[in-house]
């Protein structure tokens, strides 16, 4: 819960808005999640599989006395599943907490709000619903994820 209180937004003299994003990697792609939505990062856990669960569910993890449903970003992107340990971002959405399974969590990047661009129209339907545009960084694109759209409740409703 400590990360939530971190400084996330500040305006410098040139009135450019600086945002802090946590970078995560799935496959070759770099994704960003606003750190304001992240409760905690849990590393190196093996989630417990849930038979018959929708495919996007990455399993269950034990988190501070609760059993947390996780969403597998790999599954959502249609990438082959990997076994073994995962890093988990504990995210907060309107309907509660859930975990996001990613390959690895990277550093926190500061981005300039002006560098943001919405989803391009050629993006396929599925990705368009998941992504929230991208930031143009010098080293590449940081694809933004919106925790609200990754909420298992919402994904479940969309799948149904």
Partner 1 sequence: MDELTREFLIESQEGLDRMERCLTDLEERPQDTELLGEIFRSVHTIKGTTGFLGFKRLERLAHAGENLLGLLRDGKLSANQAIITGLLHLMDALRGILKTIETDNKEGEGEDAELIGRLHELQHPEAAVATMNAKAAAASSANAHTPAPPIVHQARSSVPAIPDPETAPAPVDVRGAVIDSKPPADAASESGKPKTITTAASDSTLRVDVILLNRMMNLVGELVLTRNQILQATSLDPNLTLLSRRLDMVTADLRESVMKARMQPVSNVFSKFPRIIRDLSQALHRKVRLVMEGQETELDKSLLEAIKDPLTHAVRNSLDHGIEPPDVRIAAGKDPEGTLKLRAYQESSHVIIEVSDDGAGIRVERVRAKAIERGLIAAERAAQLADRELLQLIFLPGFSTAEAVTNVSGRGVGMDVVRTNVEKIGGKVEIDSRAGKGTTLRLRIPLTLAIIPALIVRSLNQSFALPQGALSELVHIPPERASAAFEYMEGTPLYRLRGQLLPLIFLDRLLSPGAGSTSLASEARAERDNFIAVLDADGRRFGLVVDGLADPEEIVVKPLSSVLKSIGLYSGATVLGSGDLALILDPGSIASRAGVALRSNDEGHAEVSQEEEESDVMASRYLLVEASERRAAVPLGDVLRIERLPLSRIEYIGYRPVLNFDGQLLPVEDSGGVLAAAGGNPNAQVTVVVCREGTRHVGIAVSHVLDVAAGDELFEAGSQHRASGVTLLNDQVTGIVDLGAVPPLPLNPQITSPQLTDWTTETVA
Binding residues for partner 1, rule: CB under 8 A, are 48-54, 57, 60-62, 64-69, 96, 98, 152-153, 155-156
Cα-based angle 10, 38, 21 (whole degrees, multiple of 5)? 45
Instruction: Using the CB atoms, write b or e for 116-126: b if 16+ within 10 Å.
Output: beebeeebeee
CB of 48 to partner 1, least distance (A): 4
What counts of helices (H) and strands (E) characterise the chain?
Answer: 4, 12
Task: At 127, list the tokens.
Answer: 């990705």
Helix (H, G, I), strand (E, B) or coil at 55: coil
CB of 39 to partner 1, least distance (A): 15
Distance between start and end Cα atoms, the chain = 32
CB of 56 to partner 1, least distance (A): 9
- Residue placing its CB nearer to partner 1 in the complex, 32 or 58: 58
CB of 121 to partner 1, least distance (A): 30
- Residue placing its CB nearer to partner 1 in the complex, 30 or 68: 68
- Residue placing its CB nearer to partner 1 in the complex, 1 or 50: 50
- The residue to which tokens 């996330």 are assigned: 8
């Amino acid at each position: 819960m400590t990360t939530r209180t971190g400084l996330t937004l500040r305006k410098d003299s040139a009135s450019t808005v600086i945002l802090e994003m946590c970078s995560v990697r799935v496959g070759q792609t770099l994704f960003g999640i606003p750190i304001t939505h992240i409760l905690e990062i849990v590393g190196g856990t093996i989630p417990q599989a849930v038979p018959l669960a929708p495919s996007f569910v990455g399993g269950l993890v034990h988190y501070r006395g609760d059993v947390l449903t996780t969403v597998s970003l790999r599954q959502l992107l249609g990438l082959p599943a990997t076994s073994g340990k995962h890093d988990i971002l504990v995210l907060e959405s309107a309907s509660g907490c859930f975990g996001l399974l990613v390959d690895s969590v990277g550093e926190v990047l500061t981005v300039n709000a002006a560098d943001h661009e919405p989803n391009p129209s050629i993006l396929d339907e599925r990705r368009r619903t998941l992504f929230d545009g991208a930031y143009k960084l010098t080293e590449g694109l940081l694809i933004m994820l919106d925790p609200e759209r990754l909420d298992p409740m919402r994904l479940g409703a969309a799948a149904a």
